[in-house]
């Protein structure tokens, strides 16, 4: 089959690789029809992880089940399914509690919890930027979609259930967003957009989104958020102005360790410190942007060892609460599917490019540069 393979920093290639096969009775094989490029793929693409060459990328996957293992009961060949980016077993102590991003069963590294498709440090699994994907624990991991998911147009919405819509939702859950709240969101990439959409669904009274990219800020404004261009105005002044000088009730971090200033220089602590500054006293902060225990390629001396100059004193004095981590997609994807089905949410508004799989190298290059108009790339191996 054809697949997008990581070949080294800023180098992906579409190659012929062996087809996946059923390796375990609970496996399911899925013919991928829609698969996205994610901001998380860019950490690997940029050479900022220990991703090995030859691995297939892609953790935002949707397609049709073509074969099921002997131990699979619920899912059947022909079902259209969306796969959470997390690979989880469903029966370990963490999965039992809904913490599927921290499954104790699926990552062979005893020092790590949680696994994902085509992801550095998250187990040996291949990704779905390919014609086919092997899905472990198929009954647990497949979200079976309605019949209209065969329609490629509908897939644009449904595929967002694999990661970024639940992850944006998770940011607002971690930040405890309630109806009537003011919320400041750092990052207007796909994840920040989905956090803004989620805050809208939760009836937040005021949603502010911070970034440098005009096109991304315009998209956030389209769904009713207040865009704040950090290259043009003081974010702190503007948030204070919008919140009667108090700061936002809630804050979401949707940028991660490659947070940078207007000149492009990376400061991994920048967004969390801005959150401490612009969220009110006793406010709550959710961090879904990725941070890593080691980052030898960081230009920041501290962060080479995963440490950051966090404004801890101010955070403590303000009595704020911060929650972090990968999204437990299974916790939310069924409810968010219902919102799409009932036309209460259209996450596809962020899709800017739909490409055949063989144009993946181009998709990566433009999305990595955050070029104007490249907000979300989805690919169709069957196009």
What residue ranges bind ligand NAD (CB under 6 A)? 38-40, 42-43, 163-164, 167, 186-192, 210-213, 216, 230, 254-256, 259-260, 270-271, 288-290, 326-327, 370
Q: Considering only residues 156-175, where is the footprint of Zn ion by CB under 5 A?
A: 163
Distance from C-alpha of 270 to C-alpha of 122, rounded to nearest angstrom: 26
Q: Report CA Rg, the chain.
A: 20
Please name the helix (run of DSSP H) or strand (run of DSSP E) that holds residue 377, with its range, or none: strand 377-380
Question: Residue 39 and residue 242: Cα distance in Å, rounded?
Answer: 29
Kindly report the CA angle at 14 between 60 and 42, in degrees rounded to 5? Answer: 45
As a whole number of angstroms, the distance between CA 289 and CA 285 comes to 12
Q: Which does 103 bind (CB under 5 to 8 A by kind): Zn ion, ligand NAD, none?
A: Zn ion
Shortest Å distance, C-beta 106 to ligand NAD: 15
**Residue with Cβ nearer ligand NAD (243 or 326):** 326
3-state helix, strand, coil in the chain (%, to 5): 30, 25, 45
Q: Under DSSP, is residue 303 helix (H, G, I), strand (E, B) or coil?
A: helix
The yes or no reply on residue 242 touching Zn ion (CB under 5 A) is: no
Q: Which does 213 bind (CB under 5 to 8 A by kind): ligand NAD, Zn ion, none?
A: ligand NAD
Among 42, 65, 87, 89, binds Zn ion (CB under 5 A): 89
Contact yes or no for 74/199 (Cβ under 8 A): no
Q: What is d(CA 103, CA 50) in angstroms, rounded to the nearest whole number?
A: 21
Q: Name the minimum Å distance from CB 261 to ligand NAD.
A: 7
The two tokens of residue 287 are 């961090």
Report how many residues bind Zn ion under the rule CB under 5 A.
10
239 makes contact, choosing from ligand NAD, Zn ion, none, with CB < 5 to 8 Å by partner type, with none
Closest approach of Zn ion to the CB of residue 314, in Å: 31
Nearer to ligand NAD, 138 or 192 (CB): 192
Output the smallest distance, CB 142 to ligand NAD, in A: 19
Q: Of 4-12, 99-107, 247-255, 362-370, which segment contacts Zn ion by CB under 5 A?
A: 99-107
């Amino acid at each position: 089959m054809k697949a997008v393979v990581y070949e080294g920093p800023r180098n992906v290639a579409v190659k012929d690789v062996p087809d996946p096969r059923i390796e375990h009775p609970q496996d399911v094989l899925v013919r991928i029809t829609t698969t996205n490029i994610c901001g998380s793929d860019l950490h690997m693409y940029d050479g900022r992880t220990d991703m090995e060459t030859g691995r297939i990328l892609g953790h935002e996957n949707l397609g049709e089940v073509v074969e099921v293992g002997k131990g699979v009961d619920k899912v059947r060949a022909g079902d259209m399914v969306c796969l959470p980016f997390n690979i989880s077993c469903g029966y370990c102590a963490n999965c039992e509690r809904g913490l599927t991003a921290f499954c104790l069963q699926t990552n062979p590294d005893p020092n790590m919890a949680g696994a994902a498709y085509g992801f550095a440090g998250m187990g040996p699994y291949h990704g779905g930027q390919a014609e086919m994907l092997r899905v472990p624990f198929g009954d647990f991991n497949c979200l079976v979609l309605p019949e209209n998911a065969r329609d490629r147009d509908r897939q644009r919405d449904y595929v967002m259930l694999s990661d970024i819509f639940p992850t944006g939702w998770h940011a607002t859950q971690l930040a405890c967003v309630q109806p009537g709240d003011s919320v400041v969101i750092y990052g207007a990439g796909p994840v920040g957009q989905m956090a803004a959409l989620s805050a809208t669904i939760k009836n937040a009274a005021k949603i502010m989104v911070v970034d440098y990219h005009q096109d991304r800020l315009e998209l956030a404004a389209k769904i009713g958020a207040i865009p704040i261009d950090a290259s043009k105005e003081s974010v702190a002044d503007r948030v204070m102005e919008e919140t009667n000088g108090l700061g936002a009730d809630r804050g979401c971090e949707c940028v991660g360790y490659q947070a940078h200033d207007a000149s492009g220089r990376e400061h991994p602590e920048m967004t969390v410190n801005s959150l401490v500054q612009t969220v009110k006293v006793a406010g709550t902060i959710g961090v879904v942007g990725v941070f890593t225990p080691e980052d030898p390629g960081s230009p920041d001396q501290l962060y080479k060892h995963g440490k950051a100059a966090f404004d801890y004193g101010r955070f403590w004095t303000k009595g704020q609460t911060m929650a972090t981590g990968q999204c437990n997609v299974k916790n939310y994807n069924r409810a968010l599917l219902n919102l799409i089905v009932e036309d209460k949410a259209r996450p596809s508004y962020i899709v800017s490019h739909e490409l055949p799989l063989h144009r993946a190298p181009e998709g990566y290059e433009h999305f990595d540069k955050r070029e104007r108009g490249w907000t979300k790339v989805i690919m169709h191996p069957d196009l």
